[in-house]
A = this chain, B = another copy of it.
Amino acid sequence: MTEKWLIGVDLGGTTIKMAFINFYGEILHKWEIPTDVSNEGKNITTDIANSIDEKLSEVGKTKSQVLGIGIGAPGPVNLDNGNIYEAVNLGWKEEYPLKSLLESETTLPVVVDNDANCAALGEMWTGAGNGAGDIVCVTLGTGVGGGVITNGDIVHGKSGAAGEIGHITSIADGGAPCNCGKTGCLETIASATGIVRMAMEELKQSKLNGRLRSIFNEEGKVSAKDIFDAARDGDQLASTVVDKVAFHLGMALANIANTLNPEKIVLGGGVSRAGSILLDAVTENFQRFSFPRVAKSTEISIAILGNDAGVIGSAWLVKNRIAE
């Protein structure tokens, strides 16, 4: 096992998370800087390079300590050259040469992948995946994202669009419109946004009173957290919403598992913090819709690395793609 350090970078629209990580996947130092999206995001690579220099000198090390940099970016990746096809949140409207720019700014080798894939690799390496070579990670946040790992490596697919689990069709006809242009996508149901949308519909259609309606009457809105809290409290209206989420999410995950039979399906993102009220209901539906042999062997669990998954998975890329 080498003594060199791996640098993991999780490049988001608001902050850039960075960490020095060892060959066991342990974080030695972590820090973050704001993402400068001005000037069409052209300062980003320089900011990362400077920040790494500063941090290294702060801990009394030089670049010779570092094997390379792994970076997860919020957009589809051209794996041939490490370009990002497009990253709207960063201001990169055209194909952006992330790998080559960051390599020349840092004089270190760089490996690029998609941020959802890096999070999945992190959970595989030291998180809920616990080393499993076949896992599927589903991030339930503002949207629904995913990373698919088979035989110990990320599946990118033909044009980098593997893992678009949020755009699995859950409601074939009459579903809500999705940002992708389709309707009835899983994302319109199981994202924080989708859960709130469904609760608002229920509040409108139903006459039931209870905790959720009280929150709505007081604040004029409800959050996904309010909905899960109310359901945990026995609120009937909120429970109806959670049941619908669990039904569609459980069935979609079962269909993924009927295709891939992963060892683990890991749920991450803000919505996954609802914990067992979500996990138990999803698992029940998952079992119902899974092929018996799959139901026995594929397990659903909650992500455990939280915000560290991205930097750890990016570091995995360095360990596995860059020769010492």
Binding site for B on A (CB under 8 A): 76, 132, 134, 136, 146, 148, 150-151, 153, 155-165, 167-169, 172, 180-182, 247, 251-252, 254-256, 258-263, 288-294, 296-298
Chain B residue at smallest Cβ distance from A255: B168
A240 to B132, CA, bound (A): 45
Q: Determine how many copies of this chain the complex contains.
A: 2
Which residues on the B side are within 8 Å of A146 (C-beta)?
259
Query: Are B151 and A293 in touch, CB under 8 angstroms?
Result: no
Which residues on the B side are within 8 Å of A156 (C-beta)?
261
Nearest chain B CB to A133 CB, angstrom units: 9
From A158, A260, A263, A293, name the one whose CB has the most chain B CB atoms within 10 angstroms: A158
Q: Of B160, B169, B181, B263, which contacts A158 at CB under 8 A? A: B263
Q: Of B157, B168, B254, B291, which contacts A261 at CB under 8 A? A: B157
Query: Are A153 and B151 in touch, CB under 8 angstroms?
Result: yes
A76 to B251, CA, bound (A): 24
Query: Are B255 and A158 in touch, CB under 8 angstroms?
Result: no
Chain B residue at smallest Cβ distance from A294: B161
Which residues on the B side are within 8 Å of A262 (C-beta)?
157-158
Further contacts, 12 of them, CB under 8 A, given A151-B151, A163-B261, A169-B258: A134-B158, A134-B162, A155-B261, A156-B261, A159-B261, A159-B296, A161-B291, A164-B291, A165-B259, A168-B258, A168-B259, A182-B291
